[in-house]
């Protein structure tokens, strides 16, 4: 299911980014909300394997419409420098509301596993209606009058390719996105299975064992809120070097947490490692987004950000089945540790970028492309 989800996302991500840049960020987000609502509604209404696969495809298309478009929309409205701290604040708000939603989801799931999906679908639908009725956008695409879809598509793809050729660092960051996708796929898909295979969940106030999975998520969210608050206060998001150092620290902590979680057979050590991994994942996303968003042409911003989402999906789709095979052939612990190893080259890329930025500071601006 994870591979189907990411495969559909991979195929949809770049075209939807192009649509956001060529026509409207606002409508791209609205369409994405509607698709996501449809996917969750199908998932909850007909919970059999085949329909869940279809629901994952619909959900992936919805996420692809939203990804890149909302980041570009925010930046259009407030400017690049003001958007950077907003990404961190938005991540905090998302985690805070997820913390509120977790116990509600558990209560609904204890009544029926269908209900959380149906309620989520209703919320996404309500957000789409609110955006249609109350929220506007200032972005105006610069396509030629009367230009057809194919010509607009060719122009946007050409400008995006030119942006990557002109900034070699973007290509390195795209590789880092692929590696991060490969690492996250193994942890996301096999983390719960690892718990169930090697550890016995202790009784939690007489509640159903499903409540433990809310604890797993809640701990990561709470720690993630603290980490992002420290980053917001201590990291200069206007400084590329500051962002790269923060990414090195966050990615290193994530790799260590995953490597500890994989082989650990101690309940509390595994729990702390999982919480840390989830917290670092939450901290990584806005930092990486701030970095790739720096200095982008507004007319192709959504497409470039979508390209990074596509890179992440490529890593997940290409390496997910291999990591799954390792889990079957060797062990789930080995598969998790293998996933953590994919982060090591990413740390090297961030360190290279940090040295490059330090050298520019000492020697003056780098005039090479």
pLDDT at position 7, please? 83
Q: What is the pLDDT of residue 367?
A: 41
pLDDT for residue 177:
92
Enumerate the H helices of the chain as residue ranges: 2-22, 25-45, 49-66, 69-78, 80-111, 115-134, 149-166, 168-198, 210-234, 240-261, 267-293, 301-329, 332-341, 343-363
CB-count burial class (<10 Å; 0-12, 13-18, 19+) for 328: exposed
pLDDT tens sequence across 235-293: 887 777 888 899 999 999 999 999 999 998 888 898 899 999 999 998 999 999 888 88
Q: How many CA atoms lie within 13 A of 56 on its CB side?
A: 16
- pTM for this model (two decimals): 0.82
- Of 165-169, 258-262, 355-359, 363-367, the one with minimum mean pLDDT is 363-367
Q: Residue 164 in contact with residue 171, Cβ under 8 Å? A: yes
Question: How much is the pLDDT for 147?
Answer: 62
Residue with tokens 């060719």: 154
Residue 362: is its pLDDT beyond 90?
no
Instruction: Write out the two tokens for 323.
Output: 């990591």
* Whether 343 contacts 179, CB under 8 Å: yes
| Residue 120 confidence (pLDDT) above 50 | yes
**Quick one: pLDDT at residue 144?**
56
Q: What is the pLDDT of residue 368?
A: 39
Kindly tell me if the per-residue pLDDT of 30 is higher than 90. Answer: yes
Q: With a cut of 90, say whether residue 192 has pLDDT above it.
A: no
pLDDT for residue 81 is more than 60: yes
Cα separation values, 130 from 24, 31, 34, 133, 134, Å? 17, 13, 12, 5, 6
The arithmetic mean of pLDDT across residues 83-104, rounded, is: 89
Report which of 317, 321, 324, 318 is spatially closest to residue 7, judged by C-alpha positions.
Answer: 317
Model confidence at 365, in pLDDT bands (50, 70, 90)? very low
Better-scored residue on pLDDT, 110 or 147:
110
How crowded is residue 366: how many other Cβ atoms within 10 Å of its Cβ?
11
The set of residues, in sequence order, having a beta carbon less than 8 Å from that of 269 and lying 6+ positions away, is 260
Higher pLDDT, 157 or 232: 232
**Among 26-40, 161-175, 330-344, where is mean pLDDT lowest?**
161-175
Q: Is residue 280 part of a domain?
A: yes
* CATH code at position 350: 1.20.1250.20
In a domain, 369, yes or no: no
CB 183 within 8 Å of CB 339: yes
Residue 208: pLDDT band (50, 70, 90) is low
CB 189 within 8 A of CB 6: no
Angle value at C-alpha 74, between 70 and 78, nearest 5 degrees: 175
- Cα dihedral 353, 355, 360, 363, rounded to 10, equals -160
**Residues shown for the chain:** 369
Asked, for residue 368, whether it belongs to a domain, the answer is no
pLDDT, mean of residues 139-159:
71
| Range(s) of the domain holding residue 245 | 2-363
How far, in whole angstroms, is CA 187 from its chain's centroid? 14
Q: Is residue 310 part of a domain?
A: yes
Q: Is the pLDDT of residue 357 over 70?
A: no
Closest CA to 182 of 253, 276, 247, 258: 258
Percent of the chain with pLDDT over 70: 91
Distance from C-alpha of 43 to C-alpha of 114, rounded to nearest angstrom: 8
Give the per-residue pLDDT at 62: 95
Q: Is residue 30 part of a domain?
A: yes
Mean pLDDT of the chain: 85
pLDDT class for 363, splitting at 50, 70, 90? very low
Residue 170 has pLDDT above 90, yes or no: no
Answer yes or no: is pLDDT of 358 > 70. Answer: no
Tokens standing for residue 341: 């190893």
Distance (Å, whole) CA 270 – CA 264: 6
**Cα four-point dihedral sign 346, 334, 326, 276:** negative
Number of domains in the chain: 1
pLDDT by residue (tens digit) across 49-72?
999 999 999 999 999 999 889 999
Sorting pLDDT into bands at 50, 70 and 90, what band is 35? very high
Annotate 288-308 with DSSP letters as a single string.
HHHHHHTT--GGGHHHHHHHH
Q: What is the pLDDT at residue 366? A: 44
pLDDT tops 70 at residue 359: no
* pLDDT given for residue 158 in this prediction: 81
Whether residue 232 is contained in a domain is answered as yes
């Amino acid at each position: 299911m994870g591979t189907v989800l990411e495969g559909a996302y991979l195929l949809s991500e770049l075209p939807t980014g192009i649509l956001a840049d060529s026509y409207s960020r606002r409508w791209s987000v609205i369409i994405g909300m509607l698709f996501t609502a449809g996917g969750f509604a199908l998932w909850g209404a007909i919970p059999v394997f085949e329909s869940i696969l279809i629901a994952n495809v619909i959900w992936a298309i919805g996420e692809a419409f939203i990804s890149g478009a909302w980041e570009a929309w925010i930046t259009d409205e407030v400017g690049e420098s003001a958007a950077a701290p907003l990404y961190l604040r938005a991540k905090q708000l998302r985690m805070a509301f997820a913390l509120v939603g977790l116990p509600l989801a558990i209560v609904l799931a204890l009544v029926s596993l269908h209900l959380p999906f149906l309620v989520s679908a209703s919320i996404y639908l309500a957000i789409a209606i609110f955006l249609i009725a109350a929220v506007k956008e200032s972005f105006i695409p610069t396509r030629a009058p009367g230009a057809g879809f194919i010509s607009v598509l060719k122009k946007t793809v050409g400008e995006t390719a030119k942006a990557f050729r002109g900034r070699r660092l973007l290509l390195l960051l795209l590789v880092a996105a692929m590696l991060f996708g490969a690492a996250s796929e193994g942890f996301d898909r096999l983390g719960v299975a690892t718990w169930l295979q090697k550890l016995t969940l202790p009784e939690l106030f007489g509640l159903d064992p499903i409540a433990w999975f809310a604890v797993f998520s809640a701990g990561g969210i709470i720690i993630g809120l603290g980490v992002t608050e420290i980053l917001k206060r201590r990291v200069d998001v206007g400084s590329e070097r500051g962002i790269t150092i923060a990414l090195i620290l966050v990615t290193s902590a994530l790799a260590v947490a995953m490597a500890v979680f994989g082989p650990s057979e101690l309940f509390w050590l595994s729990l702390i490692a999982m919480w840390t991994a989830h917290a670092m994942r939450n901290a990584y996303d806005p930092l990486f987004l701030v970095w790739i968003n720096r200095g982008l042409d507004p007319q192709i911003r959504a497409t470039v950000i979508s390209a990074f989402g596509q890179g992440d999906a490529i890593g997940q789709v290409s390496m997910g089945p291999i990591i799954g095979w390792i889990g079957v052939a060797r062990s789930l612990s080995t598969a998790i540790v293998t996933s953590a190893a994919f982060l090591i080259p990413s740390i090297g890329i961030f360190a290279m970028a940090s040295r490059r930025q330090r050298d520019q500071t000492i020697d003056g601006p780098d005039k090479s492309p």
